[in-house]
Amino acid sequence: MTIEQERATGELADEVRAWLAANWHGTDDADWRRRVVEAGWAAPTWPRDAFGRGLSRADAKTVAAEFAAVGAPGAAVETRAFTALAGNTIVEFGSPELKRDILPKLLSGELTRGCLLYSEPGNGSDLAGLQTRAERDGDVFVVNGQKIWTTGGHEAQFALLLARTNWDVPKHAGISFFIIPMDLPGIEVRPIKQMTGESDFNEVFLTDVRIPAGTLVGELNDGWRVLQTALKEERRTMGFELGARAQGEGGRAPIFTASDDLIEAARAAGKLGDEAVRQNIMRIHSWRLVNDWNAVRAKKEIEAGGGSSLASLGKLANSRILHESWALKFRLIGARGMLYDPADKAAYEVDHQMMWSFINSIGGGTDQIQRNIISERILGLPKGYEPDRGVPFRDVRKGGTARPDGK
């Protein structure tokens, strides 16, 4: 860090401290959250026209540290799950009205529960082949279609929706991106039961749903480009576990803490001396370290405005890490793991997490799709054959469904 940067950080800390002294009176209520948002402390890294201050990540940490020092909540929340996903997409593509209406609600915690209305029964990996339609009718779009695998749809306050707005152009060129409330008439949410026994995701049916035209994010028919920002956020969070490990725990270097969980599992099973187990731990340990290093590269690239290709690498790598880590813990816990009995907390957790780890290989684009992206965008290999390339979507054959013109 240069002396100028150190000085700037010092000035910033002074400014935050002075602001807190004048504004924080120990009560976390709606009025407090509004003031934090309006002052730009809730999203220090966002630009000023988006309730931010245009600061670096390092400066945002300074802001967060000053808030934490006096026990004041609500600072630097722009990196949190759905706030980051929906927020960054609106910051980059949203109209001034959308920014004004949605961003303060995301940052103050008024809107926290979102869902993604992307996948459809016939179109998951081939997302650009989606057939949910949005047709303009005066001040609204009328939406009809079906979505599936909608995580959190049953409790969501709002959704990011992809719908087709032009059928006469190739598939990627006729899609629009919307952010809509989930309580509109015509939206029906039906839970799906998972192999874990839970119901986190849903089918969502949209029938003549009238959404205000102002919910469009970006330009009409430019939704595929908008989606790339949202996907980048999703893959980044699914790909890299940098954070606790990179900081190290208990003052130890991150390289030593990276596999404490596996070592503990082996010790608990009395298998710490088992050669095969030790080799397995070391193999997973090295994958984790490499992924952490890639995370540092990806972070730098994303901060410099780069694309999502490294995030795909991280997401793919993390799938293998999660599967192998939980499979190892499952083997270590022995036959107890097969009972899936909540009364046996430790075994239940391992079995549950082993099943749950498959989400990383499917949600946000499958492992195979990440490999396609890596081969094309990182390795520079040629694109695979695409029979529908350049064909107006209306004329593309659609698996098992009638064409929209009924032919």
Ligand X SMILES: Cc1cc2nc3c(=O)[nH]c(=O)nc-3n(C[C@H](O)[C@H](O)[C@H](O)COP(=O)(O)OP(=O)(O)OC[C@H]3O[C@@H](n4cnc5c(N)ncnc54)[C@H](O)[C@@H]3O)c2cc1C
By beta-carbon proximity to ligand X, the closer residue of 69 and 378 is 378
Least CB distance to ligand X at residue 155 (A): 12
For residue 266, how far is the Cα from the chain centroid?
32
**Site string (213-242) toward ligand X, x via CB under 6 A:** ------------------------------
By beta-carbon proximity to ligand X, the closer residue of 146 and 372 is 372
Q: What angle do CA 120, 124, 125 make, to 5 degrees?
A: 160
Rounded Cα gap, residues 197 and 142, in angstroms: 35
Written as one string, the DSSP assignment of 382-395 is: PPPP-TTTTSBGGG
Is residue 319 close enough to count as binding ligand X by CB under 6 A? no
Least CB distance to ligand X at residue 145 (A): 12
Among 215, 363, 370, 373, binds ligand X (CB under 6 A): 363
Is residue 372 close enough to count as binding ligand X by CB under 6 A? yes
Is residue 318 close enough to count as binding ligand X by CB under 6 A? no
By beta-carbon proximity to ligand X, the closer residue of 116 and 317 is 116
Is residue 366 close enough to count as binding ligand X by CB under 6 A? yes
Rounded Cα gap, residues 360 and 342, in angstroms: 23
Kindly indicate which of the ranges 54-62, 98-106, 148-156, 250-258 contains the residues binding ligand X, using the contact rule CB under 6 A.
148-156
Pick from 112, 370, 129, 383: which is nearest to 235 by CA?
370
By beta-carbon proximity to ligand X, the closer residue of 62 and 370 is 370
Rounded Cα gap, residues 178 and 218, in angstroms: 9
Pick from 271, 277, 353, 369: which is nearest to 316 by CA?
369
Q: How many chain residues bind ligand X (CB under 6 A)?
A: 18
Where in 198-217 is the site for ligand X (CB under 6 A)?
201
Instruction: Please name the residues in contact with 168: beta carbons below 8 A apart, sequence gap of 6 or more.
Output: 174, 392, 393, 394
Q: How far apart are the first and last CA of the chain?
A: 65
By beta-carbon proximity to ligand X, the closer residue of 76 and 162 is 162
Residue 29's SS3 state is: coil
Q: Which CA distances in Å does 274 have to 265, 281, 282?
A: 12, 11, 12
Is residue 192 close enough to count as binding ligand X by CB under 6 A? no
- Other residues' Cβ atoms within 10 Å of the Cβ of residue 220: 16
Least CB distance to ligand X at residue 126 (A): 6
Among 362, 374, 391, 396, binds ligand X (CB under 6 A): 362
Q: What residues does 54 pair with on adjacent strands? A: none
Is residue 401 close enough to count as binding ligand X by CB under 6 A? no
Kindly indicate which of the ranges 272-280, 296-304, 342-350, 368-376 contains the residues binding ligand X, using the contact rule CB under 6 A.
368-376
Is residue 359 close enough to count as binding ligand X by CB under 6 A? yes
Kindly indicate which of the ranges 28-36, 145-153, 312-320, 323-331 contains the residues binding ligand X, using the contact rule CB under 6 A.
145-153
Where in 156-175 is the site for ligand X (CB under 6 A)?
none
Cβ atoms of 88 and 41 within 8 Å: the answer is no
Phi, psi of 401, deg, nearest 5:
-120, 155
Among 32, 149, 240, 330, binds ligand X (CB under 6 A): 149
Phi, psi of 32, deg, nearest 5:
-60, -50
Is residue 368 close enough to count as binding ligand X by CB under 6 A? yes
**Site string (113-132) toward ligand X, x via CB under 6 A:** --xx-xx----xx-------
Cβ atoms of 24 and 13 within 8 Å: the answer is no
By beta-carbon proximity to ligand X, the closer residue of 301 and 367 is 367
By beta-carbon proximity to ligand X, the closer residue of 218 and 365 is 365
Cβ atoms of 393 and 345 within 8 Å: the answer is no
| Six token digits for residue 292 | 């952490």
Is residue 178 close enough to count as binding ligand X by CB under 6 A? no
By beta-carbon proximity to ligand X, the closer residue of 87 and 365 is 365
Give the helix, strand, coil percentages of the chain, each rounded to 5: 50, 15, 35
Strands 114-117 and 175-181: unpaired
By beta-carbon proximity to ligand X, the closer residue of 95 and 372 is 372
Rounded Cα gap, residues 126 and 226, in angstroms: 17
The residue sitting closest to ligand X, measured at its beta carbon, is 124
By beta-carbon proximity to ligand X, the closer residue of 314 and 363 is 363
Least CB distance to ligand X at residue 152 (A): 7
Which positions touch ligand X (CB under 6 A)?
115-116, 118-119, 124-125, 149-151, 201, 359, 362-363, 365-366, 368-369, 372
